Amino acid sequence: MFNLTATEAVAHLKQREISPLELIDAAAARIAAVEPAVNALPTLCLDRARDHAKALMAGQRRDAEHEPGWLGGLPVSIKDLTDVAGVRTTYGSPIFKDHVPATSHPLVERIERKGGIVVAKSNTPEFGAGGSTFNEVFGRTRNPWNTALTCGGSTGGGAVSVATGEVWLAHGSDHGGSLRRPGTYCSVVGLRPSPGRVTRGTSNNLFSPLSVQGPMARNIPDLALFLDTMAGFCPFDPLTYDAPAVSYVDAVAAARPPKRVAWSANYSGALDVDRETREICEKAVCRFEEMGCIVEEFDPGLGNLEEAFMVLRSQHFVVDRALQIAAHRDLIKPDIIWNTEKGMAQTPVEIAWAERERAAFYRRVAAMFQTYDIFVTPSAATPAFDVNLRNPEMVDGKKLTNYMGASMLNAAMTMASAAAVAIPAGFDRFGRPVGLQIAAPTRGEATVLGAAALFEQLTGLDKLLPIDPRMGTLPSAH
């Protein structure tokens, strides 16, 4: 059963051809088989899941059965940054290693109301900070394509859980690429929705558009299904708004090719991207021409956005982490302390400058979308790297200066408040997955999912999943 797509599994559930309990058993068996190799789902809640399944099968908890995004008893994973009532939730931090919340995050409540069954918590870097998934509580999560490599971060456990068939859908979050880079490294799909599309619920940064919640899956139709599950107004998040009149599943089914595609490999050289990645992605984006699209190189102009992003990200960390650092500095990893203290040292003038830079970039991107339907770039600057490293040491032959140094392809679309999806585009000479990032204007999830679905139909790369974990070694050129 783990080989079924989420869409197929939900169809079987609706027809009563399989039961939620059978899917939970299939997930449990698959988790037991692959977890020793990948460490993606360190916390299981199978008894809780079976109680939920029995309630659904008894006709209870089905008030959302006829709404878009109904999952009908499908097992899913929830990132370990997000509370699930009665289930150990650590945020990847030794401070919270024994934490068991009494209530669930509003998004988890929404997913469960829509018939999703939580079977496990997925591993994440400490407080979600970092491009490689490891922490002091649960250790490292490994890439199923080559277990010597990282799965990316911070939704690394989620990406691995769908790639290997442990679950059919995975929840995650994204600030500077945390749904998109793990998606790329594991050859699955991850969507960063526009701010407000999906509730962030309990965040202290409720009025910041930088960090969002979103879905991961093995293919685009499944991703659209899970976005339908998640999308909609939430009274606990002031940025949220109503779900669209046309479901994302229906929008994907009716997708038409975009007319004009803007493509940039590295923002005219402003960002470092490995040469082989650029070559693979440039060849991949040309496949849009097979649909009749016009594909043109275009650079909206990055300006000083990288510095501006770090300023605003650091302010985000001050809100989230300053009090914890004051109380538990010895239990928090250096990257988080560095990012938070950078924010604490910034002046109002620096913050104001960063806001102006962000606004100027947003206007340039908005102007681009007046001409082009989608904007395509590589979805990661370099393929997956050594699982024992916190970030790649080099990108295109240049040494990184901080742990976020390889993230600007993703962070740029974060700063533009764009809807952006990472989708597989191929493999490098060492068999490491490479992907494209496809972006559309804010609230343009239907556009970006439709374009990604048509691209996916051309490549067929989704048919390679789920995979059994593959033991491997580090590429000689790494």
Rounded Cα distance, 153 and 158, in Å: 9
38: left (phi over 0), alpha (psi -120 to 50) or beta: alpha
Task: Please say if 79 is a catalytic residue.
Answer: yes
417 is catalytic: no
Q: Is 19 a catalytic residue?
A: no
Catalytic residue among 77, 79, 121, 122: 79
Mention every residue, 6+ apart, whose C-beta is less than 8 A from residue 377.
263, 264, 265, 266, 267, 281, 409, 436, 437, 439
Q: 93, 104, 173, 178: which one is catalytic?
A: 178
Place of tokens 């918590």: 121
Distance (Å, whole) CA 323 – CA 336: 12
- Check whether the bond before 466 is cis (ω within 30° of 0): yes
Q: What phi and psi values does residue 262 have, to the nearest 5 degrees?
A: -90, 135
Instruction: Say how far apart CA 320 and CA 137 lie, in whole Å.
Output: 20
Nearest to 275 by CA among 66, 129, 428, 67: 428
Say if residues 307 and 353 touch (Cβ distance below 8 Å).
no
Q: How far is CA 54 from CA 24, 51, 161, in A?
A: 11, 5, 24
- Catalytic hit among 77, 132, 154, 187: 154
- The residue with tokens 């931090």 is 93
- The DSSP result for 371-409, as a single string, is H-SEEEEES-SS---BTTSSS-SEETTEE-SSTTTT-HH
Specify the pairing of strand 394-395 against strand 398-399: antiparallel
Catalytic residues: 79, 154, 178
